[in-house]
Structure 1
């Protein structure tokens, strides 16, 4: 039983796929918490019967968004003494078999965020694959001079990653945003601003068809508008911090032999 690292799975109306994802995660890691975010499809029912000290089911009465669900789990995890959380989606897209590798990387680099770098299969929607490049470009710009011994952020939207809990909660408690689809991208940018280095690891992405139980709540217009507002907000923050970042970069350059 891990006393420091746990898996957090937020879920909203993911149907039978939720139980399959939870089973795969529990087979890979002994501590798995699920946050059912106001689901109305009955997907939480099979999980209520699980009796395992490493498993916890948190049920939110109303849907608040992915970021809000993850924050509820992180607040409880911090109270219980956990230091790191691996987040993964409930819809079967993320590879549960990679959980031990990501956790091992986090144990070796506890001050870093371990970010999944998606490896897309041939079934991946081309519009989704190409569209995320825009958000990744903006995230790269917003985190210039913020690597501090880490790596550039290769993918800002892939939610399969390990976060250090304390710095992430400090950010979320101070900001009213990061509650919905904007959570993943804004979390990595703001953590980079706080000096948390990024380490990237490849991880496959699987897009399930409806016949396979695939469920997607992504809406191109709504969620791209949300991301546009988020990056506008982050760019304003980046420009405000730019003189400080340039000063640090010059100091590092002068300090080099």
Structure 2
């Protein structure tokens, strides 16, 4: 298998060396590493150029966002498979080998994934080595990715690979202009017509950046990718076998948005999101949220929401439903 690794880059000069080292150290060597510099201003491009490996190719473009950078990388790729890695994340040395094993377990899968682990914010340093049991790993074949994602996200943007021919036929793959969920939007569209083979072991590490609870603003509109998902399900563009889980996924996200709005003291927006989530109205989570909107004092709702954020139990594209 020939893996092209696409790395979008914007002002990550402090981290990109580490990310590239992790790709070049793979036991299954990459076919190429395409770094798309999206108009960096901090010397990121120079950091990439300082690596003398001919497999690393730097492509420059004016700042247009991560989706445009990934789409450019897909256009430039020449391998059979395209894997993605953010410029501040890392691959385990067996990452590409694990994806190749997933392919061997399910040849018809157009998308391959692996587990990941989160590491603290480190100033450019490589993460401490983490053990992964050697040998063959459990490969899970997923037929309904949305349903699987609502249990627990099985991979992340830095631990997935998709057949290159499939991506090139879908260009532009990532919705340019979206700032939330543009990666999930693509993963689900691919998975609607192909099984997904996932190695259930952590072969990527993602950097957890500092996040201020006070700086986190609740959304007052449904993200674009969720609007499109609902429209596609209702119009029949999503295959029939996945329509129910697509509508369920959107509904559960709307319940989360309702809870976030309630935590910010905006009961009107919370109620609007909850009413839009009618397809999950008979679930305990929906009904509990309605009771909180109607009866919970604002100060209690705010304290509850902060506790939920700290304990990482709020449903999001990266976490489970609670």
Q: Same fold by TM-score, threshold 0.5 exceeded?
A: yes
Task: Find the counterpart in structure 1 of residue 184 from structure 2.
Answer: 185
Which of 84, 88, 93 does residue 91 from structure 1 map onto?
88
CA RMSD of aligned residues (A): 3.7
Paired residue secondary structure (2:36): strand
- Structure 2: stretches of 5+ with no match in the other structure: 122-141, 245-322
- Structure 1: stretches of 5+ with no match in the other structure: 125-145, 250-257
Spell out, residue by residue over 1:160-199, the C-alpha distance to the aligned partner (whole angstroms, 9 max, x if none). Answer: 2011122223223388558654331001111122x12112
- How many residues are treated as equivalent by the alignment? 211
Paired with 1:24 and 1:248, the residues of 2 have a C-alpha distance of 38
Q: Cα offset for 1:18?
A: 0.6
| Alignment check: 8 A CA contact 2:114 2:160 kept | yes
**Structure in which a larger fraction of residues adopt helix:** 1
TM-score under structure 1 normalisation? 0.66
Greater shift after overlay, 168-177 or 183-192?
A: 168-177
TM-score under structure 2 normalisation? 0.54
Greater shift after overlay, 152-161 or 46-55?
A: 152-161
| Alignment check: 8 A CA contact 1:17 1:90 kept | yes
Task: Find the counterpart in structure 1 of residue 18 from structure 2.
Answer: 20
Residue 56 (structure 1) aligned with residue 52 (structure 2): no
Task: Find the counterpart in structure 2 of residue 196 from structure 1.
Answer: 194
| Alignment check: 8 A CA contact 1:65 1:181 kept | no
Paired with 2:57 and 2:156, the residues of 1 have a C-alpha distance of 24
Pair 1:229–1:173, CA change in 2 (3 A): closer
Between 1 and 2, higher relative CO (CA 8 Å, sep ≥ 6) is seen in 1
Q: Which has the larger radius of gyration?
A: 2
Q: Cα offset for 1:220?
A: 4.7
Paired with 1:33 and 1:55, the residues of 2 have a C-alpha distance of 6
